[in-house]
Structure 1
Amino acid sequence: MLRIHREPGRGSRCRKDITDDEEAVARAQRGDLDAYGVLVARYTALAHRTAYLLGAGADAADIVQEAFVKGFRKLSTFREGATFRPWLLAIVANETKNLHRARKRRNLMELRVHNTTDTVDHNDPAELVDDSRARLLQALEQLPEKDRQVVTCRYLLDLTEAETAQTLDIAKGTVKSRLSRALAKLRPLLEVARD
């Protein structure tokens, strides 16, 4: 079991002397909350952007909070020598998938209860961005979830192929082939959106 403690006399100064993720993770694994706080501060914006772009929308902040809580609980499973960023983003991606599943179940239940085929508008995030970005997001929404995830991680979040593979828990070769197919599907959707 992980014991939570603060190093005596260190307080907020601990945050200033942690320079890399490896050190922060090692300290956090020993129960140093300030060290984990460094990781939270360092990756909150990226985690939020990841959740949002993977489809969490207005729930992105909740997804990020849950991902950091789960990440802290699972620090003991973090492999030595692994990179923290894609490990955390994999948790964010999984939490976002769980949200999608819950939404689908809830929407199906609502349809049964109301006995209607009307779809519920979930505050389309494309309304918040400029026109070309809105078209891109609309085209991405039309892709199957696996294709949307790989394009989002690789190009919108600017992850490497290896980080994308680790984040989505797939092989690097699968990232390449899925990207190729996804981009082939995306091109005609963008053409239609442009017209």
Structure 2
Amino acid sequence: MRTREGGRIVVDEAAVIARVRAGEAEAYAELVRAFTPVALRAAVAFGAGAEAEDVVQQAFIKAYCSLGRFQDGSAFQPWLLRIVMNETRNTVRSAVRQRAVAGREAELLAAEPLIPESADPAVAAVEEERRALLAAALRGLSEEQRRVVTCRYLLEMDEAETAAALGWPRGTVKSRLSRALKKLGRMLPGGPDGTGGDAWEGVSDARG
């Protein structure tokens, strides 16, 4: 059974996976529909660029072929996103550095409008400025720091999901995230060493 919660499709992952394992292959489409949006966002965030849709398609195929090794009781999303990340890495390596790192986070931040088209133009302008500041700050992080911030906040994964997706211990997630946020705080207005507050709220609000 599927319902919509906050515009997202919610599925009983364990039940669907059990049906697929029992031979009901068509049930896998429910997982594909539910997790394609976040998989695409992750592929873009980690550099798949114009190949994002192909990366996600391949990731779902590999996930389907690996369902027999999926650990019962685990969450499907971080497991899938780890496959997406690996597939993205392979795609980027096989290309001639097909996109500059500078465009990755900017595309992700612009992928889903945060404000309606009918909003006050002044509000829209402020929001666009916040996105630009945040994207610029993310470019100043190391690759590992960008990954943990992207998973934790831009993809809205909790600590355990982030650890599972990145294949890191939770302690590593905490330490790298802490260093990343401190560095962002020095670069973003409104951070611990900055002035103002608009851009920093784009990250700090997510910590609530």
TM-score normalised per structure 1: 0.74
Q: Determine the structure 2 residue equivalent to 1:151.
A: 149
Evaluate the alpha carbon distance shift between residue 101 and residue 190 of structure 1 in structure 2; reply closer, same or farther with a 3 A threshold. farther
Moved over 4 A (4+): 120-123
From 164, 168, 171, give the equivalent of 1:170: 168
- For residues 149-184 of structure 1, give each alpha carbon's deviation from its aligned partner in whole angstroms, at most 9, with x where no partner exists: 000000111111000000001101110000011112
User: What root-mean-square deviation, in Å, do the aligned CA atoms of Structure 1 and Structure 2 show?
Assistant: 2.8
Residue identity matched to 1:124: G
1:54, distance to aligned residue in structure 2 (A)? 2.4
Residue-pair matches, total? 166
Evaluate the alpha carbon distance shift between residue 134 and residue 63 of structure 1 in structure 2; reply closer, same or farther with a 3 A threshold. farther
From 25, 47, 59, give the equivalent of 1:33: 25
From 64, 79, 91, give the equivalent of 1:87: 79
1:51/1:63 contact within 8 Å kept: yes
Evaluate the alpha carbon distance shift between residue 15 and residue 37 of structure 1 in structure 2; reply closer, same or farther with a 3 A threshold. farther
CA–CA separation in structure 1 for the residues paired with 2:134 and 2:175: 21
1:93, distance to aligned residue in structure 2 (A)? 1.7
CA–CA separation in structure 2 for the residues paired with 1:141 and 1:56: 16
2:148/2:176 contact within 8 Å kept: yes
Give the secondary structure class of the aligned counterpart of 2:72.
Answer: coil
CA–CA separation in structure 2 for the residues paired with 1:123 and 1:165: 25
Residue identity matched to 2:40: H
Evaluate the alpha carbon distance shift between residue 102 and residue 142 of structure 1 in structure 2; reply closer, same or farther with a 3 A threshold. farther
Matches within 5 A, 1:87-166: 87-103=79-95, 106-107=96-97, 124=103, 126=106, 129=110, 130-166=128-164
Residue segments in structure 1 that go unaligned for 5+ positions in a row: 1-13, 111-119
From 16, 30, 37, give the equivalent of 1:24: 16
CA–CA separation in structure 2 for the residues paired with 1:70 and 1:138: 34
Larger Rg: 1
Instruction: Report the structure, 1 or 2, having the larger helix content.
Output: 1
Evaluate the alpha carbon distance shift between residue 58 and residue 165 of structure 1 in structure 2; reply closer, same or farther with a 3 A threshold. same
Give the secondary structure class of the aligned counterpart of 1:124.
Answer: helix
- For residues 79-103 of structure 1, give each alpha carbon's deviation from its aligned partner in whole angstroms, at most 9, with x where no partner exists: 1111111111111122222233334
Evaluate the alpha carbon distance shift between residue 20 and residue 68 of structure 1 in structure 2; reply closer, same or farther with a 3 A threshold. same
CA–CA separation in structure 2 for the residues paired with 1:62 and 1:36: 18
Judge which range, 183-192 or 141-150, deviates more.
Answer: 183-192
Q: Determine the structure 1 residue equivalent to 2:62.
A: 70
Residue segments in structure 2 that go unaligned for 5+ positions in a row: 4-9, 111-127, 200-208
Evaluate the alpha carbon distance shift between residue 46 and residue 121 of structure 1 in structure 2; reply closer, same or farther with a 3 A threshold. closer
CA–CA separation in structure 2 for the residues paired with 1:172 and 1:63: 27
Give the secondary structure class of the aligned counterpart of 2:188.
Answer: helix
Residue identity matched to 1:89: L
1:122, distance to aligned residue in structure 2 (A)? 8.2
1:56/1:99 contact within 8 Å kept: yes
